[in-house]
Amino acid sequence: MTIKVDLGTPLLARNEEMAEEIRYLAAENQIFIVNIMSSPGAGKTTLLEQALGYLTKELRTAVIEGDIATTRDADRISAHGVEAVQLNTEGACHLDARMVYRAMQKLDLTQVDLLLIENIGNLVCPAEFNLGEDLRLVLLSTTEGNDKVVKYPVMFRDAQMLVINKVDLLPYTDFSREELAGDVAGLNPALEIFYTSARSGEGVENWVKRLVGLVRAKYGVSS
């Protein structure tokens, strides 16, 4: 006999459960989690390298590096004396909450105030997977063009912070700050925008100050 079963179960139900576990771990250890997303080559790792100098003076920082293969990025971060865990997805186009939860087990969470998760370079798939983060940060470089915001609406609608990197290259691109501001106003008016150059260091300190401010606002000045 044929029967029909009503479910109403989200496809990502299990990821949401794991994200909840991460939030629990983070709250218990007073850790602020940032999920950093961008397309490949936007400058995520280079920006982090620039930021760590400022960040580590204020907060005990750890990094989870997501890549399809190699430990190159974790090696780059470790060279700055910051604890870094490399995650290799071996083909998968995004990090999910289970991978992050496992990576967190490798850290001494009692010694971490800020956990930066560098997601796989991709503006599509990572948007779908909640990692239990406090802040979703998207990095976009000037050479990619300002139209990416409306071309990847799910990614940019769900983010709270947008960092436009490679401002040193602005004169050589058609990137328009005005068009970007207009598109952001229509898609996600609460999105905070920062301009940086991970290469020259321009704007990095200003952005880091805001990040530190958000962490302090959540967990107080003592951390």
Partner 1 sequence: MHEMGLMAEMVDLLAESAKEHQVRRIDKVKLIVGKMTNALPDALQMAFDVYKEQELFSPSAVLEIEERETIGHCAECGTTFPVRDNALFICPSCQGLRIDIVSGRELYIENYEGEEETRYDN
> Using CB under 8 A as the criterion, which residues of the chain lie in contact with partner 1 when the complex forms?
1-15, 92-94, 96, 122, 124-125, 127-128, 149-150, 153-154, 157, 183, 185-189
Cα–Cα separations (whole angstroms), residue 200 to 54, 62, 158, 203: 15, 23, 29, 9
Distance in Å, CB of 55 to partner 1, minimum: 30
What minimum distance in Å lies between the beta carbon of 175 and partner 1? 18
Tell me the closest approach of the beta carbon of residue 42 to partner 1, in angstroms.
18
| Cβ closest to partner 1, residue 106 vs residue 151 | 151
As measured in angstroms, the least distance from the Cβ of 179 to partner 1 is 13
Pair 198, 96: CB distance under 8 Å: no
Angle at 118 between CA 104 and CA 58, to 5 degrees: 75
* Count of CB atoms situated within 10 Å of the CB of 14: 13
Neighbours of 192 (CB within 10 A): 16
Q: Kindly state the smallest distance separating residue 166's Cβ from partner 1, in Å.
A: 23
Task: Compare residues 3 and 221 and give the one whose CB is closer to partner 1.
Answer: 3
Q: Which is nearer to partner 1, 55 or 149 (CB)?
A: 149
**Residue 149 or 163: which CB sits closer to partner 1?**
149
Closer residue to partner 1 (CB): 179 or 202:
179
Residue closest to 15 by CA, chosen among 128, 145, 148: 128
Q: Could you tell me which residues come within 8 angstroms of residue 87 by beta carbon, excluding any fewer than 6 positions away?
A: 64, 65, 66, 67, 95, 99, 100, 103
Q: Do 198 and 46 contact (CB within 8 A), yes or no?
A: yes
* Least Å from the CB of residue 120 to partner 1: 10
| Nearer of residues 7 and 221 to partner 1, judged by Cβ | 7
